[in-house]
Structure 1
């Protein structure tokens, strides 16, 4: 069985209907979804984002919670590289809710973040 843990930055706590945050590093929390083979969601948990002064904080938090995949609308190069080094795949998703993001992921619509999702840090970027 191939279980995956998928993190999605969110601004609300409504389970699968949580609103996806447009700002990875400054989101309220991360919805972490356990997804089984065949796309069955077996668990949705909310992990509060940590106060941080570096881009590594949120990425390390996700790694500590066993996240395999991060779905986000954008992020800075530094957290992207850190995620890759920690074995977390980072994919771009334009979904509005966690459910929509998961559907896009399971249908193969989420693309590598390098394809238009990386922001230039320090200028109001997603990091």
Structure 2
């Protein structure tokens, strides 16, 4: 299973559409981390990019994110990428918390947008 985490300076970025890069973590059959890579974020607003399609093509099945608008959730879900919102802190710790079942979706969507939609 591959997981994407919107990242800035090694921490979960509070807004997926403006992150510096995505940390892509692959979990093995025993939920152990088998690989970790960085995918540069598209320039500008992520929600206007093809990032959902790129992540899908990389085999990402889950995004562990901070805040995200419902439109972005819908686009990711349309590419069979589940979204768990409300994550914060160090990306490695967030992955560890996911592995042991400590994370739940906040189900809170951003209702503001800095991209002038």
CA contact (8 A) 1:74 1:119 kept: yes
Give the drift of 1:65.
Answer: 1.8
Displaced runs of 4+ in structure 1, greater than 6 A? Answer: none
* Correspondence for 1:11: 8
* Equivalent residue pairs, number: 114
How far off its partner does 1:67 sit? 0.7
Correspondence for 2:74 among 81, 86, 91 = 81
Which position in structure 2 is the counterpart of 1:41?
33
How is 1:1-127 mapped onto 2 (pairs within 5 angstroms)?
A: 4-12=1-9, 18-52=10-44, 55-57=47-49, 58-113=51-106, 115-116=107-108, 118-122=109-113, 124=114
Q: TM-score, normalised by structure 1?
A: 0.79
Listed as ranges, the gaps of 5+ residues in structure 2 are none
Unaligned runs of 5+ in 1: 13-17
**C-alpha RMSD of the superposition:** 2.0
After TM superposition, the score normalised by the length of structure 2 is: 0.85
